[in-house]
């Protein structure tokens, strides 16, 4: 049981967010925004944190997942009724997995900056393919408010978008955190550690690096697809290619992971909280200036605290706590 102790703070924080949203007036959406950032970081961390590879086109997986849900909702609502939502999640998962296997098989042979650029290419290329061929509505995208209303009724559709879509996000975040913990505590965790330190050496030692990289990539991508399906299609009710293939989300994921501590369990969550809260607070207090204030802050953090919040905490704290905070 001891190995599950580091999971407790994760559950406690997400639980606090959830209850705060539920009990305090007007706090549900802001808490859901924090949960979105937490989930995004948690899921992205599985690949970036464990392997050290930077997927600069990560947003493609969220985008393809949001299309999965949108396709299910807009084309099947007459036959399936409320079943469109589970079907949509399955479709989102499948589409994101396929994309991750295809991209992974190709791009994961590349290293460092070459990998980062290749993944940007995948994300942008996919977007222009959709716009250029008119696939899935092309640049017009898909709007699912009407199908959701037909399938769930007015009240049902409203609570699906403003309550359930967010709740599912908490679930995805917890699952991602749990998977991270399992990997960190297992043999695979040591394999990843060895790979991050020196990939060549790890390979020589008999670690099948390609398999581990692909595994992390696959898990991270397919969970990302579920985030897209829930946080974008179900919550926002629309998918426009220019909106979902936005590189900003990839950047946000990177910032969150780096801020909290890459490769740690609690890092992405803490990073997501700090990032989300800071942005929300800046938007409310300095409307129009938040990016101007934010950019230098990131630069300072990169230069002064590259190991992230959790990284620093682990360094400073006694060994007794290290078992708890991972």
Q: Which residues 210-269 are close enough to bind other proteins by CB under 8 A?
A: 231-232, 235-238, 240, 242-243, 247-248, 251, 254-255, 258, 262
Give me the least distance between CB of 237 and other proteins, in Å please: 6
* 199 contributes a contact to other proteins by CB under 8 A: no
Q: Which residues, 143 to 162, sit near other proteins by CB under 8 A?
A: 143, 145-146, 149, 154, 157-159, 161-162
Which of 296, 318, 319, 320 binds other proteins (CB under 8 A)? It is 296
The encoded tokens of residue 242 equal 């220019």
Cβ proximity to other proteins: between 168 and 313 the closer is: 313
Between the two ends of the chain, the Cα-to-Cα distance in Å is: 15
Q: Which residues, 276 to 295, sit near other proteins by CB under 8 A?
A: 277-281, 283-284, 287-292, 294-295
Q: Which residues, 9 to 38, sit near other proteins by CB under 8 A?
A: 20, 24-30, 32-33, 36
Quote the CA–CA distance of 250 and 7 in Å, as a whole number: 26
Cβ proximity to other proteins: between 182 and 307 the closer is: 307
Cα–Cα separations (whole angstroms), residue 106 to 118, 155, 219, 239: 9, 45, 17, 27
SS3 content of the chain, % helix, strand, coil (to 5): 85, 0, 15
Quote the CA–CA distance of 222 and 266 in Å, as a whole number: 21
Quote the CA–CA distance of 298 and 23 in Å, as a whole number: 33
Cβ proximity to other proteins: between 114 and 190 the closer is: 114
Cβ proximity to other proteins: between 90 and 101 the closer is: 101
Task: Dihedral sign for Cα 127, 133, 137, 139, please.
Answer: positive
The encoded tokens of residue 93 equal 């998962």
Which of 110, 179, 182, 214 binds other proteins (CB under 8 A)? It is 110
Residue with tokens 């590349």: 110
Quote the CA–CA distance of 265 and 177 in Å, as a whole number: 6
Q: Which residues, 56 to 85, sit near other proteins by CB under 8 A?
A: 56
DSSP state of 110: S
Q: Which residues, 111 to 150, sit near other proteins by CB under 8 A?
A: 112-114, 116-118, 120-122, 124-125, 128-129, 131-134, 138-141, 143, 145-146, 149
Give me the least distance between CB of 6 and other proteins, in Å please: 17
Cβ proximity to other proteins: between 110 and 182 the closer is: 110
């Amino acid at each position: 049981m001891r190995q599950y102790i580091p999971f407790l703070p994760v559950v406690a924080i997400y639980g606090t967010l959830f209850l705060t949203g539920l009990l305090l007036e007007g706090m549900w959406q802001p808490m859901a925004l924090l949960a979105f950032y937490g989930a995004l970081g948690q899921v992205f961390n599985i690949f970036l944190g464990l392997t050290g590879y930077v997927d600069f086109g990560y947003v493609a997986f969220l985008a393809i997942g949001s299309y999965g849900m949108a396709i299910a909702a807009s084309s099947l609502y007459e036959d399936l009724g409320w079943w469109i939502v589970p079907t949509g999640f399955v479709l989102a998962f499948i589409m994101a997995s396929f994309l991750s296997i295809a991209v992974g098989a190709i791009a994961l042979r590349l290293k460092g900056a070459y990998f980062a650029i290749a993944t940007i290419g995948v994300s942008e290329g996919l977007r222009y393919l959709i716009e250029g061929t008119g696939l899935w509505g092309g640049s017009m995208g898909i709007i699912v408010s009407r199908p959701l209303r037909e399938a769930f009724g007015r009240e049902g559709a409203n609570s699906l978008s403003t309550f359930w879509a967010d709740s599912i996000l908490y679930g995805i975040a917890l699952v991602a955190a749990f998977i991270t913990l399992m990997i960190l505590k297992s043999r695979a965790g040591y394999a990843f550690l060895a790979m991050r330190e020196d990939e060549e050496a790890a390979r020589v030692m008999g670690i099948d690096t390609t398999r581990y990289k692909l595994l992390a990539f696959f898990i991270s991508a397919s969970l990302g697809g579920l985030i897209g399906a829930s946080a974008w299609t179900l919550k926002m009710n629309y998918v426009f290619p220019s909106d979902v293939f936005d590189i900003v989300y990839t950047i946000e994921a990177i910032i969150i992971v780096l801020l909290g501590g890459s490769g740690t369990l609690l890092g992405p969550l803490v990073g997501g909280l700090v990032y989300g809260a800071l942005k929300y607070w800046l938007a409310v207090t300095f409307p129009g200036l938040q990016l101007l204030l934010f950019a230098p802050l990131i630069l300072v953090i990169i230069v002064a605290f590259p190991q992230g919040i959790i990284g620093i905490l682990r360094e400073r704290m006694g060994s007794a706590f290290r078992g708890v905070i991972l």
